[in-house]
Amino acid sequence: MASLPPTLDFAKTEEEICSKWSTESTFKTQDALGVERGDKEYTFYDGPPFATGLPHYGHILAGTIKDVVTRYAVMTGRRVIRRAGWDCHGLPVEYEIDQKLGITHRDQVLEMGVDKYNETCRGIVTRYTKEWERTVTRLGRWVDFENDYKTMDPTFMESVWWVFKELFNKDLVYQGYKVMPFSTACGTPLSNFEAGLNYKDVSDPAVVVSFPVVGMEGVSFVAWTTTPWTLPSNIALCVHPTMEYIQILDKKADKRYILAKSRLGQLFPIMNNKKKWKPKMADELYAIEETFVGSDLAGKKYQPMFDYFVNDEDAGEYFRILSDTYVTDDAGTGIVHQAPAFGEDDYRVCLAHGVIQKGKDLPCPVDSNGMFTEMVPEVKGLHVKKADDTLIALIKDKGRMVHKDQLQHSYPFCWRSDTPLIYKAVPSWFVKVEEIRDKIVENNKKTYWVPNQVKEGRFHSWLTDARDWAVSRNRFWGTPIPIWCSESMDEVVCIGSVDELAELSGVRVTDLHKDVVDEITIPSKKNPGTVLRRVDEVFDCWFESGSMPYAQKHYPFENKESFEDGFPADFIAEGLDQTRGWFYTLMVLSTALFDKPAFKNLIVNGLVLAGDGKKMSKRLKNYPDPNLVIDKYGADALRMYLINSPVVRAESLKFQEPGVLGVVKEVFLPLYNAFRFFSQNLERLEANTGTKFVPSKDKVSAATNPTDVWISAATQGLIKFVHEEMTAYRLYTVMPALVSFVTQLTNWYVRLNRDRLKGLEGGESESEAGLQVMYDVLLDVTILMAPFTPFITEYFYQHLRKLQPSYADAANGGGSSNPVMPGKSDSVHFLTLPAYDDGRLNADAVEAMEALQVIVESGRYVREKRNISLRTPVKCVTVILRNPSANVIESLNGPLKGYILSELNAWDLVIVPKEEEHEWVTLSLTPNFNLLGRKLGKKMKDFKTHVTSMSHADAVACLENGGLDFEGLTISAEDELVSKLAFSKEGEHWESTSTPEGDVVVAVDCTQDEAILSAGRSRELINAIQQLRKAAGLDLSDAVEVFFEESAGINVVESAVSNNTNLFEAKFQGAIPVPKKFAPSWSVVLRSDSADIGGSKVEVSICRPAVAGRCGLSDEVGYFLSTLEPSNLDGSALSITVDGKDISLSQGEDFWVNTVAKLRATKAISWLE
């Protein structure tokens, strides 16, 4: 295995891997291997996106979640068909075409020709599919684009017809006249769940207007509305039958009004101000003259606001008071104005009271574009939302305006055109959702959601209140509703297939779009000689996406067995907004068809917002281009940033580009450096031993080093955890665990074992033992992370696999099986994820290491408090642990002690025995107020005094007894008391800290004497040398000589070196620093710099190893020695001819392998003897 380069361009490397995958058809091979192995299918449904725009972070997030889960499924022995799909029909496409062609009215489409219009739509639906494919592929998501499905494919559309006919045959379809959310920009009704997709806070006029009572001179009903534009269509008023109403005299206006008694504040706003309103002020504002209940008012007539509909055929029933319990006193006046063409309750109440008749036209002066018609000439051609001011002025002129205000409220907008919706009565085709609502709720209970609160909360609430679904749209580009009927609707035929249409009409078609099938008629069976024609509407595109499980397979016309075997789907995933979208339509249709949920498992992601917390906007450009982010940091970094955030548990994420950079810096760079460190030392080990490294599971299992045992156990624990959590679809717990493990590996294992792995501690046998463990861990982690970060793991794996004995055979086409990596192993994504080894789950080793880390981190914190550099040793670290296990004590006092001393640069470590802890710490108890507040009530104060005044011994006894009794109440030590250790040893030389939980105290003896300071200077010199080596670009195996030069009369460094020669000799392969004056004149300086050591400026140089000669040698001999390579000297004498004279040079008398050897032999420096 060759050493890795010093740096890695992650993004460029990913592009190279992408190219490799493409060239080698890696994705197809992975799928083929699943077929070859006979893996059981894992069914996954991918909700079809619109390809009329480019993918954004919401798509990338959902796509990454889908990719992670399906990759995991494949790597745990399942076969997953991952087929791309495209939503091609509906408002998104038509709206874009209308904008492009300047179409504002339905008649313009008819003039253009539906065939031409639809062809124009067809031309843009796949406009961005190549860009989608490029982005999705670059993200590392494996999806089959070659065998994609489109909702405009005839096979897909035919299955949609089948779905609808099944519902029709089950009597779950009807045509109704219903008030629906209506998009005036798109000229079509929307379903209730579509109306819920895009709410915005807006300011609308809120007016109170009067309706004079017929037969009660000078008295008016008053009604409140936030839609003044509906007042021209008013034909009734509604009160609550049992609510109390009053007739008042408005003293300032000198007018009499009738309204709900509880709603006086609507007329007199000061009554709503609790600080300013005083009951005695009422006499100045109004006088109550009469009291009624709502039923007393029912039937009374009033004078209409406008006379636009006074001559209607049914006008005799108009302009009277109705009663219904939907009226509330939450807002308004308790009297609601009724415009049945624009309100769902209005329509229902007016129909129930005979004000309007079913099947008859409604008073509706607004067209499908939201414009007023000639019925209201004053605002003809104005959009309803722009007509408010004109109508308010007309009302004022009539003297009917009582009060005008502005109301801030949440209002539904069209999810596609982003324009305000209105509610409008339109004829539609409906699915009877309410009839099967209980079944839908029950089927939802059979599904598993992450997070569960979305299922139990938001989605459940939506289902329990679900209403009949309007599935028709008055548009052109969509799957036509397959109903042919007579003009009188007395004969209705629903078509469920192309064959059925051909059989009944005699016409066989290959395209099912409106412009084709609208030309087809079906001979009437009831009335021979007449024909049935298709209804005008097309399907809501949500009906198509809800039919996707069946239509993508052309069920039931093809793939019947494979569909039924894989239904319901094992997994789906989309954003939180789909609780009222795709998740809902899937559930409705699957329940209606099969009384089953459409899926078993679901991950809901939250919204990705701009960095300022606002919605991402192309217009505002408030977010970075996803492709640029990928090009800069790599797809793996973006994937990990997204799935290691709250957004995978349905919370919002404010996208921050520095967060993606943070993944590179905090995860990938440390991991890459660990891999590189491994490869460097592997290369060194093989060079030094002359033996090829062969991975061995037996050697890993036989490891005895405590950190080897720990990292192996931690790896097995990680594997077990990942499998448990991925089986439960909890990505939000998996990613933090993987990131944490990378930190454990790179920041703890590698750091603790750096010298050992280099062969500097314990020799090459210990190095090889550690590298065996490190290889095993790196391989497991690489495979385990593959579903999450497919690129970097492929890169690492391609290097790691070269160490396998079977690699050469595989490279030569032998295809031999791999003992460590079962199955075909050309890619990490062909492998099976490792299963955890229960025998290596060493809980004791993990617990001991956790204690070590707490001690080390606490000790470093204490050093920072006292401003003691880590290079300066401390005399002693004392640790007090609350209830440690015997294993932890044994490990900390035994095999882990050296690691702690090294990490804290301490000379001694003391783990205080339990029987002596009272000499070092005090145990204190405090109440857990959250749990005890209700239990103790007023006794809490006395109880707090009682427990906080306990002695150390009493507190210990309380915990050991499991709690205490207080005034007849049992207080549990486990959860109702909070315990904490505090350092109590006296002496200024002590500095301490305790963990937040209060169960560990670490104290450091901060005494500083000359021996301590000298050792610290040695560490500072070592650091300076290492920096020079790094600047010179030296590898670990590159030997150097070190020289230093201090100012005259100062020997701070020389003193430090003289006291710590063993430290330098072990650290730098015998290269003990010596004064520069002893350096051979021919030494080649590789790097030199000044360093501040112990307050003294010191010049430090690293030189290429050079042979050293005795004093007095001639220049010719000196030149000869400078040409020698020290590593080639074997102790033999050397000969040289100078001026014709042969000279013999003896190693050990005339020359030495290096300067340190010379100084030792000649005793030139006493501390080197």
pLDDT digits (tens, 9 = 90+) for 559-576: 999 999 999 999 999 999
Top pLDDT among 788 and 942 is at 788
Return the number of other C-beta atoms located less than 10 Å from residue 382's C-beta.
18
825 has a pLDDT exceeding 60 = yes
Kindly state the tokens that stand for 659. Answer: 């967060």
Q: What pLDDT was estimated at residue 692?
A: 92
SS3 200: strand
Contact 1167, 1051 (CB under 8 A): no
Kindly state the tokens that stand for 596. Answer: 């089953």
CA distance 447 to 598: 9
Over residues 461-485, the mean pLDDT reads 93
Kindly state the tokens that stand for 182. Answer: 């209506």
Q: What pLDDT was estimated at residue 823?
A: 45
The domain containing residue 258 runs over which residues?
208-340+387-405
Phi/psi of residue 590, nearest 5 degrees: -65, -35
Contact 395, 305 (CB under 8 A): yes
* Cross-strand bridge partners of residue 909: 877
1144 within some domain: yes
CA distance 684 to 3: 10
Return the sign of the alpha-carbon dihedral for residues 538, 544, 546, 551: positive
Over residues 1011-1031, the mean pLDDT reads 90
Structure confidence by residue, pLDDT tens digits, 1024-1083: 999 999 999 988 778 999 999 988 778 888 989 998 888 888 788 778 999 999 999 999
923 within some domain: no
Q: Which residue has the tokens 């360093």?
A: 1091
Final residue in a domain of this structure, among 362, 378, 405:
405
DSSP-derived secondary structure letter, 867:
T
pLDDT band at 458 (very low <50, low <70, confident <90, very high): very high
Q: Which residue has the tokens 């004056």?
A: 1077
1153 within some domain: yes
Per residue, the 3-state secondary structure of 446-472, as one string, reads CCEEECHHHHHHHHHHHHHCCCCEECE
The terminus-to-terminus CA distance of the chain in angstroms comes to: 42
DSSP-derived secondary structure letter, 1007:
-
* Cross-strand bridge partners of residue 794: none
Side-chain-side CA neighbours of 1153 within 13 Å: the count stands at: 13
Q: Of all residues in the chain, what percent carry a pLDDT higher than 70?
A: 98
Q: Of all residues in the chain, what percent carry a pLDDT higher than 90?
A: 64
Please state which of the ranges 602-606, 628-632, 1004-1008 shows the lowest mean pLDDT. Answer: 1004-1008
Strand order in the sheet with 599-605: 448-450, 599-605, 569-575
CA distance 914 to 916: 5
Return the sign of the alpha-carbon dihedral for residues 574, 576, 581, 587: positive
Over residues 844-872, the mean pLDDT reads 93
Q: What residue type is assigned to position 947 of the chain?
A: V
Please state which of the ranges 98-107, 192-201, 307-316, 436-445 shows the lowest mean pLDDT. Answer: 192-201
1 has a pLDDT exceeding 70 = no
Domain count, the chain: 2
CA distance 914 to 960: 13
Over residues 660-676, the mean pLDDT reads 95
Q: What pLDDT was estimated at residue 275?
A: 80
Contact 491, 525 (CB under 8 A): yes
Kind of pairing between the strands at 422-431 and 173-183: antiparallel
Residues 6+ away with beta carbon under 8 Å from 748: 707, 849, 853
Structure confidence by residue, pLDDT tens digits, 491-509: 999 999 999 999 999 999 9
760 within some domain: no
Residues 6+ away with beta carbon under 8 Å from 747: 670
Q: Which residue has the tokens 């992450």?
A: 450
Please state which of the ranges 78-82, 90-94, 799-803, 1053-1057 shows the lowest mean pLDDT. Answer: 90-94
pLDDT band at 821 (very low <50, low <70, confident <90, very high): very low
SS3 415: coil
What CATH number does the domain containing 329 carry? 3.90.740.10
CA distance 220 to 222: 6
226 within some domain: yes
Q: Most confidently modeled of 184-198, 294-308, 710-724? A: 710-724
Which helix (DSSP H) or strand (DSSP E) does residue 258 occupy?
strand 255-260
Contact 235, 308 (CB under 8 A): no
Q: What pLDDT was estimated at residue 359?
A: 62
Q: Which residue has the tokens 């890169």?
A: 795
Question: Which DSSP string corresponds to 508-522?
Answer: --S--SHHHHTT--E
Kind of pairing between the strands at 83-86 and 144-150: parallel
Measured CA distances, 869 to 752, 862, 907, 1026, 1093 (Å): 19, 11, 15, 17, 12
Angle of CA points 903, 908, 913, to nearest 5° = 110
1079 within some domain: yes
Structure confidence by residue, pLDDT tens digits, 5-20: 889 999 999 999 999 9
Catalytic annotation, residues: 48, 87, 542, 578, 582, 615, 618
CA distance 921 to 932: 27
Structure confidence by residue, pLDDT tens digits, 303-320: 999 999 888 888 888 999
Percentages of the chain per state (helix, strand, coil), in multiples of 5:
45, 20, 35
Alpha-carbon dihedral of residues 329, 333, 339, 341, nearest 10 degrees? -40
312 within some domain: yes
Residues 6+ away with beta carbon under 8 Å from 568: 43, 590, 596, 597, 598, 599, 600
CA distance 801 to 820: 10
Q: What pLDDT was estimated at residue 817?
A: 41
Top pLDDT among 619 and 290 is at 290
Return the number of other C-beta atoms located less than 10 Å from residue 102's C-beta.
7
* Cross-strand bridge partners of residue 44: 571
Q: What pLDDT was estimated at residue 622?
A: 86
pLDDT band at 819 (very low <50, low <70, confident <90, very high): very low
Q: What pLDDT was estimated at residue 107?
A: 82
Q: What pLDDT was estimated at residue 816?
A: 39
Measured CA distances, 290 to 227, 243, 259 (Å): 30, 14, 11
Over residues 916-927, the mean pLDDT reads 88
CA distance 683 to 3: 7
Over residues 789-817, the mean pLDDT reads 76
Structure confidence by residue, pLDDT tens digits, 168-219: 999 999 987 788 889 888 888 887 767 877 888 888 999 999 999 998 989 9
CA distance 1084 to 1122: 10
Final residue in a domain of this structure, among 352, 376, 405:
405
467 has a pLDDT exceeding 90 = no
**Mean residue pLDDT across the chain:** 91
Kind of pairing between the strands at 483-485 and 1141-1145: unpaired
Kindly state the tokens that stand for 39. Answer: 């893996």
478 within some domain: no
